[in-house]
Structure 1
Amino acid sequence: MPKTLIGPRLRQLRREQKQTQAEMARTLGVSASYINLLENNQRSLSVQMLMSIAEAYALDWRELTKDESARRVADLRNTVLDPLFTGDRPDLQEIRGAIDHAPRLVDYFLQLHGAHRNALERILQLAGDSSTDELLKSSPETVIHDFFRDHENHFPELEQAAEQAWRGAYTSPEDRFYELRQRLSKDHNITISVRRIDQLGDALRFYDERTREVHLSQALNTANRVFQLAHVLCLVEYPELLTEIADRSGIGPLHAPSRLRVELANYFAAAFLMPYDRFLKEAEATSYDIDRIAAAFSTSYEQVCQRLTTLQREGARGVPFFFLRIDKAGNVIKRFNSTSFHLAEYGGSCPVWNIHTAFYTPGVVMPQFVEMPDGERYFTISRTVHRPVFSEETQDRRLTLALGCEARYAHRLRYASSYNFEDPKLYAPIGINCQLCPRQACTQRAHQPLFVELPMDEFRRGSTRYES
C-alpha cells in the first residue's frame, strides 16, 4: 500500500470520541507516543493499524484513507484569493498547516465563505429582491453539484452496477436499442413506444409505472433514445442503490433528492453505454477526440463530454475535466466537475471566453487557453449542440458545451496539438464575471467590480467607461 498519512482525520476522530491520545492508544493497543506521531503525520499508516482503527470505531476504512487534501488545498487557495480579502495572502505552507492542524476551523471558514458566495449570487440574480429566505437558500443545482464534486464525479458502486448489468456480454453499440427494449420487455414486462412530439408535449421520455410503458419522443435521436432506455433500466433494476446513495448524501427534501436520483441514474446510463475500461482506452488512443469516441460507442457528443468527467477511478485515471452547458443568454444550465478547479463552479459569464462566440460557428470545435485573475490556467474546448426539442417558440435550439482541464494536461489532447505552448500570448485573460473580476483595462468589462476600486481620471478616457 502507498504511504498513507491520516493525521488530521485521526485527530478529528479522537476528538469526536472525546478521548485523549492515551485513551485512544489503549483502545488500539499501541503507545500514546505512536498516536501522537500519527496525528502529526510523522508516521505513515500501516494496513494493520488501519484495520484496527476501522474495527475499534466501526468505520469504513476507505473513509479513513480518502485523501481530500488536494481538493481542500485548492478550495482554501481559491477562497483566500477572493477580492473580499485584502492584505498579504497566506502562502501554500500556511494553507496546508491550517488544514493539518485546524481542519474543522477550515471547514467553518469555507462554509462561511460559501454562504457569502451564495448570498452574493442571489443578490445579483434577484436584482433588488430583499427576500431573506431566497437569499440564504442554496439551489438544488448547487447542492447536487457540490455532492458530485465532493465525490470527484465518480461513483464506484454505480460503475460496478453498470458492469454487472452487462452480465458479461458487452455487444455492438449498433444493437443497443433493440437489446435494451428486449431486456426491459423480457425481464420487467415493460413495453417501449416512440410517440409523436405533439402527443408527449414538452416531455422527451415518460415511464408509466402503472401500465409498465416507456414513451419516447420522436424528438430524440437514436443515441438519446438508447440513453433514456439505459436510464429506465437503472430505475427498475437498481432502485435500492439509488436510494442508498441519495440517503447517504444528506440532501434533504428541500433540496430535491429526486433530482439527485435522476442525476445518479444518468450517471449509470453513461457508464452502461460507455464501460469504464473500454472508454478510457478509447479516449487515450484517440487523444481525447470527442467525435471519434462518440462514433466508437454510438453515443452523442454531449454524452461523451459528461462521461469524460467521470474518469477518476483509483489506478486508472483519465484527464480530469470539468464540463459546462450554456444557453444563448449565458446561463449555465448543466455543470459537472471532477476537479478542484473553481472555473467550473462560477464560470460562464465572461465574454472573453469563447463559449459565447461558439454560437456564431455552429458545430465547430473551438479550443482556447485561458488564464484566471489568480494565475490559474486552463485549456478548454467549446462547441454547439442542438437541444432535442421542437417548437415554434424555440426554433434555434443551440447550446454551447465547454469541456476544460488544467493547462498542464493539454498536451494529451489532440485539440491542443497545433499550439505553441511557449507562446507568451497563448492565454486569454478571463474572469468569473465582471462583478467579481479585478482585472483592469479589460475592453469587455460590463460592470463595476464589487470589491475593487478601478482608477478613474476625469481627464482621461480608458478602454471602458469604468476606468481611465
Structure 2
Amino acid sequence: MKKAFIGGRLRRLREERGLTQSALASALDLSPSYLNQIEKNQRPLTVPVLLRINAVFGVDVQLFSEDDEARLLSELREILSDPQLGESVSGAEIRDLVANMPGIARSLATLHRRLRTESDRAEALVAHLGLRAEDGPAAPPAPFEAVRDFFYAHHNYFDRLDAAAEGLFAEARLTIGETAEGLSGHLERRHGVRVVIAEDGPLRNWDGASRTLTLLRRLSPSQRAFQMATQLALIALDEPIDALARTAAAGRDETHRLARIGLANYVAGALLMPYRPFLAAAERLGYDIERLSECFGVGFEAVCHRLSSLQRPDARGVPFFLVRVDRAGNISKRQSATDFHFSRAGGTCPLWNVYAAFAQPGRVLVQIARMPDGRAYLWVARTVEHGRPGYGAPAKTFAVGLGCDLRHAERLVYAKGLDLTDPAAATPIGAGCKICEREACVQRAFPFVGRPLAVDESRSVHAPYAAS
C-alpha cells in the first residue's frame, strides 16, 4: 500500500458515526493529535490504522482505496476542463477536492452527468420537432445510459445475484464447460419450461403462456446455454432482479425493462462461470482469456465480461475494465470494476490497441498504455464476430478490450516478456482528443478544450487540423 493521504474520508466516517476526534482516537488506540494530523492529511493512513478501522467499525477497506479516488479525479478533470465554465481549475485544486471532500466531488460528477444527458436528449428532441433550442424541455437519461451508469456505479458487481447464481449452479447439478444440456433439463424439471430449437426467427423468444423458450438453431452450445441461463434467472431470481432494476429505473418503464435484461444477463454469466471456481481457474491460468474460454465452454467476450465482475469483498480478482467498440469508434459496452474513466466527451484514442485489433482479426494484442495523469495500464484486445447470417449479409464485428492497472499486471500471463518498469515501454494514450492534454500527439484530431488554440506559423504543430 502506497502512502495514502485520505483524511477527508476518515473524517466523514467519523462524522457519520457521530464520534468526536477524541472518541475515535480512543477507539483506534491513537493519540488525538495523531488522528488530527491524519484527518488534515499531514500524515498518511497506514496499514495498521486501516486494519484497526476495519476491526472496530467493520467497514470495507475499499472505502479508503485510491482506485475510487483516481476514478473520480479523472471524471472531474474532464468536467472542469470545459471552457464554458469560464474559469480554469488546476489539477491541484481538483485533487484537493477529491481527497478532502469526496462527497461534494461525487455530487458534482452526478449533477454533471444528469445535466449532460438531459442536454443531449433536449437537443435531439428540439432537432426532431424543429423547435428553437430554448424551447427544448429537459429529459431524463436515455434508458441504455441509465442502465450503463447503474452498472458503473456498482462497479459491475452484484453480490446477491452472484451468490444466487452459485446456488442455482449447484441446484441444477451443472457441469462446468457443459451447461447447455443440464440447463435444459433443469428448466423442464424444476420450472416446467420446454426448450425448442427453431430454424429461423429471433435468437431467443419466450412464450410465458405455454412456458416455451425458443432458440435459433445457429446458436452455438455456449450461446444456447447463455440464453437458457438468462431465462432461468428471470424465473428463479425475479424478485431480487426486479428490485435492483427498479432502483436503476427511477420510475421509467423502458429503463426498468432494460435493467432487468442486463441483470438477468449478469446472472447468466455468473451461472455459466460460477464465482469461486472461475476465480480459482483465472488465478491458476494467469487470467488467460482463451484458456478460460476453453475451460468453461464460453466465448472470448463472455470471459472478458466475467473477469470484469470479480469484486466479491472476501475474494477479489484483478479489477478489470472492459470496453467494446466497432470500427467507427462507437463504444457499445463499457464496464469498470475499478478506476478507469471512459470519456463521454466524444471519441477515444486511436493509439489504443483496441482499434489496432481490427487490423489483425482474431489475434490477441497486448499494450502498456499511459494516460495523461501518469497512470499506466495493461490492455488486452481482440476482435469478436457476432452472428453468421449467411452469404451476402454483413457480420457484426467488434473489438473487445480488457484492461487493468499496471500494478496488477504481474498476475497476468499477458505481462510475459514486457518490461513493466520501463516508462518508455508505455504508449501514451488519452480519453479523447478534446480532453487530452498531449498537445504534440501526432494523432491529435481536435484541440484540447481546456486551453485556447495557440497557432505557431513557424512550426507545423497543428498539422492534424489542416488538410493534408
Q: TM-score range by the shorter chain?
A: 0.7 to 0.9
Q: TM-score normalised to the size of structure 1?
A: 0.80
The whole-number CA distance in structure 2 between the counterparts of 1:292 and 1:69 is: 31
The whole-number CA distance in structure 1 between the counterparts of 2:440 and 2:124 is: 26
Counterpart for residue 81 of structure 1: 77
Listed as ranges, the matches of 1:416-431 within 5 Å are 416-431=415-430
The whole-number CA distance in structure 2 between the counterparts of 1:134 and 1:381 is: 42
Counterpart for residue 338 of structure 1: 337
What's the CA shift string for 1:196-249, capped at 9, x where partnerless? 23xx1xx31111111111111123211111111011111111111111222344
Equivalent residues of 2:122, 2:137 under 8 A apart: no
Equivalent residues of 2:329, 2:347 under 8 A apart: yes
The whole-number CA distance in structure 1 between the counterparts of 2:357 and 2:363 is: 7
Counterpart for residue 163 of structure 2: 160
Listed as ranges, the matches of 1:57-456 within 5 Å are 67=63, 70=66, 72-82=68-78, 83-84=81-82, 86=88, 88-90=90-92, 94-95=96-97, 98-99=100-101, 104-115=103-114, 118=117, 130=133, 137-167=140-170, 170-197=173-200, 200=201, 203-249=202-248, 251-253=250-252, 256-343=255-342, 349-388=348-387, 390=389, 394-456=393-455
Distance 1:172 1:33, change over 3 A: closer
What is the total number of aligned residue pairs between the two structures? 431
Distance 1:433 1:92, change over 3 A: closer
What's the CA shift string for 1:159-191, capped at 9, x where partnerless? 221121133675433542111111111122211
Letter aligned with residue 447 of structure 2: Q
Structure 1 spans left out of the alignment, 5+ residues: 15-20, 22-30, 51-60
Superposition RMSD in Å: 3.6
Give how far 1:449 is off. 3.0
Counterpart for residue 46 of structure 2: none
What's the CA shift string for 1:426-446, capped at 9, x where partnerless? 111112222222221222122
3-state SS of 1:357 partner? helix
The whole-number CA distance in structure 1 between the counterparts of 2:376 and 2:118 is: 27
Distance 1:275 1:137, change over 3 A: same
The whole-number CA distance in structure 1 between the counterparts of 2:379 and 2:322 is: 9
Equivalent residues of 1:323, 1:337 under 8 A apart: yes
The whole-number CA distance in structure 2 between the counterparts of 1:124 and 1:433 is: 22
Counterpart for residue 23 of structure 2: 34
The whole-number CA distance in structure 2 between the counterparts of 1:112 and 1:383 is: 35
The whole-number CA distance in structure 2 between the counterparts of 1:36 and 1:209 is: 59
Equivalent residues of 1:98, 1:106 under 8 A apart: no
Equivalent residues of 2:361, 2:383 under 8 A apart: yes
Equivalent residues of 1:305, 1:323 under 8 A apart: yes
The whole-number CA distance in structure 2 between the counterparts of 1:417 and 1:91 is: 39
Equivalent residues of 2:196, 2:215 under 8 A apart: yes
Structure 2 spans left out of the alignment, 5+ residues: 1-8, 28-34, 40-48
Between 116-125 and 177-186, report the one with greater CA deviation: 116-125
What's the CA shift string for 1:365-391, capped at 9, x where partnerless? 011111112222111111011112516
Distance 1:228 1:398, change over 3 A: same
3-state SS of 1:462 partner? coil
Letter aligned with residue 11 of structure 1: E
Give how far 1:400 is off. 0.6
Distance 1:291 1:123, change over 3 A: farther
Equivalent residues of 1:381, 1:402 under 8 A apart: yes
Q: TM-score normalised to the size of structure 2?
A: 0.80
What's the CA shift string for 1:309-364, capped at 9, x where partnerless? 11111221111000111112111111211112114777962111121121121110
Equivalent residues of 1:195, 1:216 under 8 A apart: yes
Between 425-434 and 290-299, report the one with greater CA deviation: 425-434
Give how far 1:92 is off. 8.7
Letter aligned with residue 186 of structure 1: R
The whole-number CA distance in structure 2 between the counterparts of 1:251 and 1:117 is: 18
Equivalent residues of 1:291, 1:301 under 8 A apart: yes
What's the CA shift string for 1:434-462, capped at 9, x where partnerless? 22222212221222333322331234333
